[in-house]
Structure 1
Amino acid sequence: MKLKKELRRRKRISAIILYSLAFLWMIPLVWSVATSLKTDSEITNNVLGLIPRDITFHRYEKLLIENSSEYPLLTWFLNSLFVAAIYTFLYLFIASLAAYAFSILKFKGRDKIFWFILATTMIPGVINLVPMITMMVDFGWMGSFLALIIPGLGGVFGLFIIRQFFLQIPNELIESAQLDGLNHFGIYLKIVLPLSTSAFMVSGLFVFLGNWNDYLWPLLVMSGSGTSKFTLPVGLSVLQGSYNYDYGLTMAAAIISIVPVIIVYIFTQEKIIEGIARTGIK
């Protein structure tokens, strides 16, 4: 009885702490939405107000409907969506094949090779910028979406998540599939992939988010290509330029930029939570 009371007390304390943190996290988001809906005069006179007195949607109309040549937000949005979607699909395919090799296949030095690859994550990405830019110039990919998709396909974090999940698949399933005459690609396609949807959801979300929010690399490879090829983070930096003081417009663009991520998470949250629990991410 005492144990049950203690557990309930701990749950209540945990709930209070979590709800308090969630409330604090929501305040900047609510303020951003409110600022995007305020009139220009109210933004100046009521900076910290969380509830607009006079709601206006003209900034969203300007960004989404007008899609002017000065601020083509819809074009930037579609560019980011295209690049992030293609990159996520290709990355999951390549990383899952590599994860299969490092978890299901048996060969000498398998684990040592994997941990060596994983150790490369300790190398700061900034160190690779100059050689990567040189390679993009040599390949003629500067100003091309290929420069935003291909270089990142060797990322290790998603490979680690998927491999950890594959390691939990019983060997008996793999052996029985081999006895039935399936080759390794058949096992990968018919046995491993259907059992690993939650791991793909987790890895895919992290990969999609990383590409969607990437700013420095697109800024470097897309500089000089014209604003029509900018991704959303680079485009938002144009909105926040030194000569732009329309904070409501900036907030409206920021709110639009997070909508796809929220939608993806809402529809995949159960699989993501399950995948995080089963892959052992802390």
Structure 2
Amino acid sequence: MSKPVLNETDMKNPRLGPSGPKKAASHISISKYIAYTFLIVLCIIWAIPVIFGITTSFRSQAEVVSSGFRLLPVNWIFDNYVTILQNTSTAPILRWLMNSVFIATLHTLLVIVVISLTGYGYSRMKFKGRDALFFTLLGISFFPGVVNLIPSYKIIDALGWVNTSWAMIIPGLAGMGNIFLVRQFMMGVPKDLDESARVDGAGDFKIYYSIILPLMKPVLIVCGLFSFTGSWNDFLWPVIVYTDVEKMPVTAGLLLLQDIYGNYRMIGQLMGSAILAIIPTLLLFLFAQKYFVQSINLNAGIKG
């Protein structure tokens, strides 16, 4: 087979001429190197404090005070974790972790139920003032959450939920950010599926449960991740509604640890407690990261 012959005009084209592809490839390579270098620098800036915090939890108090900044400890010890786990009276860290797992898991499951039903209503069901109600609530959600602290506490107190898990589980179930994501996702689901199901005699709940809900898996997973981490990392609200040490989640417990270990300057115990607190969310993202990436595209899994 003969090679294609380039005329004079083609030879002047930098993309078609002899040096064109090399220049283009060189330009792409330089851009990649710059991007990778930038990302590596950001990764190092983010990773060094985390690594230092982890290694500090394996240092003795004497080394923490005397060695200054050293990324790795001279002598690795596990006494800090032993002290943390043995303290089951004033700082029951394992109890706090179990409380947080229960609260965050149940909260996430209820969020998925509420937002999937609400998103179906706002995207599929027709009623007067539907869009006006949705965008009004969406606008109200932009107000800072601290504005609702006193009214929310009054409601929780009236219901008798202070110092109970319900004070953490129920508030925030109908978050407009999650409902917005679900609604936008469902707007991309072809309505022909609904019409075909109605021809076969299916009602709204049957359509929701059998057709729409399986298609919503990607967006529900990402909303579940946001809800779980948000509930796990919530700090201000549990500090307000909990006074019983045994019932606290881990975030409120970490504040209490500052008074227990901080007064004695036990930095290793404080860092060890913080490391234990982040392990569940870290494992969650490690196992669910592929679903999280897929769910960035709100129309993932929907084929028209």
- TM-score bucket (shorter structure): over 0.9
Q: Which residue of 1 aligns with 2:57?
A: 36
* Per-residue Cα deviation, 1:23-77 (whole angstroms, up to 9, x for no partner): 111111100001001112111122321111111112222323x242021000011
Work out the CA distance in 2 between the residues paired with 1:174 and 1:46: 67
Aligned to 1:260, what secondary structure does the other structure show? helix
Structure number with bigger Rg:
2
Work out the CA distance in 1 between the residues paired with 2:133 and 2:26: 50
One-letter identity of the residue aligned with 1:87: H
Q: CA deviation at 1:278?
A: 2.6
Query: Are the counterparts in 1 of residues 181 and 298 from structure 2 also a CA contact under 8 Å?
Result: no
Q: Which residue of 2 aligns with 1:82?
A: 102
Work out the CA distance in 2 between the residues paired with 1:58 and 1:279: 50
Aligned to 1:250, what secondary structure does the other structure show? helix
Mapping for residues 1-282 of structure 1, pairs under 5 Å: 1=21, 2-64=23-85, 66-223=86-243, 226-241=244-259, 243-278=263-298
Query: Are the counterparts in 1 of residues 97 and 250 from structure 2 also a CA contact under 8 Å?
Result: yes
One-letter identity of the residue aligned with 2:131: D
Q: CA deviation at 1:209?
A: 1.0
One-letter identity of the residue aligned with 1:229: K
Deviates most, 22-31 or 191-200: 191-200
* Per-residue Cα deviation, 1:83-108 (whole angstroms, up to 9, x for no partner): 11111110111011001111122333
Q: Provide the alpha-carbon RMSD of the alignment.
A: 1.7
* Per-residue Cα deviation, 1:228-265 (whole angstroms, up to 9, x for no partner): 01110110011112524111111111111111111111
Q: Which runs of 4+ in 1 moved over 6 A?
A: none
Segments of 5+ residues of structure 1 without an aligned counterpart are: none
1:251–1:21 distance in 2 versus 1, CA, 3 Å: same
Deviates most, 116-125 or 93-102: 116-125
Query: Are the counterparts in 1 of residues 58 and 268 from structure 2 also a CA contact under 8 Å?
Result: yes
1:142–1:44 distance in 2 versus 1, CA, 3 Å: same
Q: CA deviation at 1:279?
A: 6.1
Aligned to 1:80, what secondary structure does the other structure show? helix
Aligned to 2:91, what secondary structure does the other structure show? coil
TM-score of the superposition, structure 2-length normalised? Answer: 0.86
Work out the CA distance in 2 between the residues paired with 1:107 and 1:165: 20
Deviates most, 195-204 or 271-280: 271-280
1:77–1:140 distance in 2 versus 1, CA, 3 Å: same
- Kindly indicate which of the two structures has a greater share of residues assigned to helix: 1
1:182–1:7 distance in 2 versus 1, CA, 3 Å: farther
Deviates most, 52-61 or 1-10: 1-10
One-letter identity of the residue aligned with 1:275: S
TM-score of the superposition, structure 1-length normalised? Answer: 0.92
